Chains A and B, each alone.
Chain A
Amino acid sequence: MSLLDIQNLTVTFPTPRGPVNVVDGVSLALGQERLGIVGESGSGKSMTGRAILGLVRPPGKVRADRMLFEGQELQGLSDRAMRKIRGARISMVMQDPKFSLNPVMTVGRQIEEALRTHESLPRRALKARVVEMLDAVRIHDPERVMRLYPHEVSGGMGQRIMIAMMLIPRPRILIADEPTSALDVSVQGQVLDLIDELVRENGMGLMLVSHDLHLVGRYCDRVMVMNAGRVVETLDAKNLHAAQHPYTKGLLAAVPRMNETRDELPVLDRSKWAST
């Protein structure tokens, strides 16, 4: 059974010119695998992730023919029931640790809180789990780091702390929304390797949302390309370079290469697809 089975997901927002489908009939299935969702700004890739977690705020509306998580329908769940899934069974790492960590709470307490919200454990066991988790995200002196505040840690360490916080309740699915775009290249690889390793070790499903086709191609098994709320094509990551759809090909070609010889970069003809 797949972890996630979504059929015909639509997210609609009202605008002065009538309702707009920012996600428009997306279907996907996620097993114990790494699925990449790629697209440009406004393609609906982040909204897809948020809709799964029930994080689309009114006036936005989410509809789907089905949205099953381990066979359970997510639509129509009470807030209370949804809170038991969100964070505990499906969790999400966002782009910038600077904005997603609580600035007035120590790192240790935040990670602890993430666990305490979903499990009741004795104090000592709680602390042991936090230390173990920090160790798993390669923070070598967990005792010291636990006492730090978010402004005292670097971006890369902040993102590792976020990952620790998201994985400590042992979720089945991790949604990572641009987890490294706020980080330097030297740290990006480490953070992605870490996510990759933890996801494999724990037999989780990963949904990696990014604008970076090459990065997604490297870290995922399958890649889903989105444009204007629709899935343009889904392909195996290893076949990314053999993409068929002109939009995917256009995106791949528009990225400068290290051994660049082109005098001009090819530009997408936006008139062929919905303009963003």
Chain B
Amino acid sequence: MGFDMSAIHLKDLNIFYGDTQVVHDVTLDVAPGESFALVGESGSGKSTILKAIMGLAPDWTGTIEVDGKPRSHGPDRAFSRQCQMVFQDPYGSLHPRKTIDATLAEPLLIHGLKNRDARVVELLGEVGLDARFRFRFPHQLSGGQRQRVAIARALALEPKFLLLDEPTSALDVSIQAEILNLLKRLRKERGLTYLMVTHNLPVVAFMCDRLAVMRHGRIEEIASAEALKTGALATPYARELYRLSNPEETAEEQP
């Protein structure tokens, strides 16, 4: 690749669940400040890659480097400061019996950070949540509000990298628009690097600079967002996904 050091560097990555290999020989580099998407259908291994980077899928071979440092196979406290993850389902990823305040203060507490009180208020502000939500429980919030909390929690340790696993697919389109705008703004303001898993190609067109199309645990193609927007994808499978995701425009081209 053309950059001196990759923010996220994966080389010959193979990931296993027991005896089953779910990711095969994945090699990719994400540049600092880039927003990179992994797209593909269910079972293509895209979420598993995020899990391996986070240490949640410890059975892998090959290389994972984040910010130039090789990643160990398990959870890693120093790594958590650098890289955080936002999960798909905001109904499942927040502790139901912890207030928003406790949820946001927990990472600060674990890492022994000071000024927790002020930080929590600041975090709520950054994701556009009113301070009155601070002492509520997740069930008192809507799906979009919960996903804002999950993003605030991911930002609490001021990481440089965010791994986003289908961050808006459980949300209504109007809420999706709000969350995508928020993620875009945060990336710009903080110079974050995103590695985002999604099955929604138009979301990639809005949010990302490049994408890798995955199928059966392998990368079929790495393309620029420009290639996606103009339909200039190289492999037949990627073109097929493009056609299925974009029936209005492509229908007219066919006789």
Contacts and interface: CB of A to CB of B under 8 A. Distances in A.
Interface of A: 40-41, 155, 184-186, 188-189, 211-214, 218, 250-251, 254-260, 262-268, 270, 276
A234 B42 CA distance: 35
A266 B177 contact: yes
Interface string B226-255: 001111000000001110111111000000
Interface SS majority for chain B? helix
Given A186-B240, A186-B241, A260 B174 contact: no
A214 B248 contact: yes
Given A254-B177, A256-B206, A267-B181, A185 B241 contact: yes
B180 A256 contact: yes
Q: Which of A40, A214, A256, A270 has most chain B Cβ within 10 Å?
A: A256
A268 B41 CA distance: 30
A214 B203 CA distance: 15
B153 to A, nearest CB: 23
Nearest to A270: B174
Contact of B174 (A189, A251, A256): A251
A265 B205 contact: no
Interface string B175-206: 11110110010000000000000011111011
Interface in B156-178: 172-178
Contact of B178 (A155, A260, A263, A267): A267
Contacts of A218: 247-248
A83 to B, nearest CB: 34
- Sorted nearest first, the 8 A-B pairs with minimum C-beta distance are A265-B177, A254-B177, A256-B206, A40-B172, A256-B202, A184-B41, A260-B205, A268-B174
Contacts of A213: 173
Nearest to B43: A184
B184 to A, nearest CB: 7
Contact of B245 (A258, A265, A276): A258
A264 B173 contact: no
Contacts of B246: 258
Contacts of B180: 256, 265
Interface SS majority for chain A? loop
Given A259-B205, A264-B181, A185 B229 contact: no
Contact of A155 (B42, B172, B240): B42
A184 B201 CA distance: 12
Nearest to B172: A40
Interface in B138-155: 142-143
Nearest to A182: B42
29 contacts: A40-B173, A155-B42, A184-B41, A185-B244, A185-B245, A186-B240, A188-B244, A211-B173, A218-B247, A218-B248, A250-B174, A254-B177, A255-B202, A256-B177, A256-B205, A258-B205, A258-B231, A258-B245, A259-B229, A260-B205, A260-B229, A265-B177, A265-B181, A265-B206, A267-B174, A267-B178, A268-B174, A268-B177, A276-B142
Interface residues of B, number: 35
A246 to B, nearest CB: 12
A40 B174 contact: yes
A255 B244 contact: no
Interface of B: 41-42, 142-143, 172-178, 180-181, 184, 199-203, 205-207, 228-231, 240-242, 244-249
A237 to B, nearest CB: 12
B175 to A, nearest CB: 8
Given A257-B202, A260-B202, A265-B181, A185 B172 contact: no
Contacts of A41: 143, 172
Contacts of A259: 205, 229-230, 249
B64 to A, nearest CB: 27
A264 B206 CA distance: 8
A169 to B, nearest CB: 31
Q: Which of B173, B184, B201, B202 has most chain A Cβ within 10 Å?
A: B173
B191 to A, nearest CB: 17
Contacts of A276: 142
B41 A255 contact: no
Contacts of A256: 177, 180, 200, 202-203, 205-207
Given A184-B42, A186-B244, A254 B174 contact: yes
A211 B168 CA distance: 14
Contacts of A186: 41, 240-241, 244
B174 to A, nearest CB: 4
A270 B142 CA distance: 14
A263 B187 CA distance: 13
Contact of A211 (B172, B231, B245, B248): B172
Contacts of A211: 172-173
A45 to B, nearest CB: 12
Given A155-B42, A218-B247, A256-B206, A251 B173 contact: yes
